[in-house]
Amino acid sequence: MNADGTGQPQQLTSNVVGEGSPTWSPDGTKIAYTRRDTFTNSEVYVMNADGTGVRNLTNDPAFDFESDWAPDGKQIAFTSDRSGGDLRFEEAAVYTMRPDGTQLRKLTDDNLEAFSPA
């Protein structure tokens, strides 16, 4: 719907397991979000603002979630337990990647309870 609440809401996703945490790219053309592909895995996806062009950016058996765009739109930060951490014990790290999923970089130590990058 429009930013002022007018217009008809448009459903952009329909995954039965679950999707959430949408974040707009700074230029407003894309949305990054978390999709639970199974009950034991989640990934960071990106799509065009109209719901087309859906693409899995992380594609890893770990829990990848809580994504957010850098102010210049050149990076996406997200939380993951991909380096062997265990979310039950709050062992996760913050990573960054380019909006096409390349140039993955780990920013924090797994034992620092690093969640919700923004």
Containing domain of residue 41, as a range?
19-112
Q: In the prediction, which pLDDT does 37 show?
A: 80
Residue 11 domain-assigned (yes or no): no
Asked whether residue 10 is assigned to any structural domain, the reply reads no
**Helices in the chain by DSSP H: which ranges?**
none
| Phi and psi torsions of 87, nearest 5° | -60, -25
Q: Categorise residue 69: left if φ over 0, alpha if ψ from -120 to 50, beta otherwise.
A: beta
Locate the DSSP E strands across the chain: 19-24, 30-38, 41-48, 55-56, 64-69, 76-80, 93-97, 105-106
Instruction: Band the pLDDT of 7: cuts 50, 70, 90.
Output: confident
In a domain, 57, yes or no: yes
Q: What is the pLDDT of residues 58-108, one digit of tens each?
A: 999 888 999 999 999 999 999 988 866 555 545 788 999 999 999 999 988
Decide if 44 is inside a domain. yes
53 located within any domain: yes
Number of domains in the chain: 1
Nearest Cα neighbor of 43 from 17, 69, 24, 25 is: 17
pTM of the complete model? 0.84
13 belongs to a structural domain: no
Question: Residue 95's domain is classified under what CATH number?
Answer: 2.120.10.30
12 lies in some domain: no
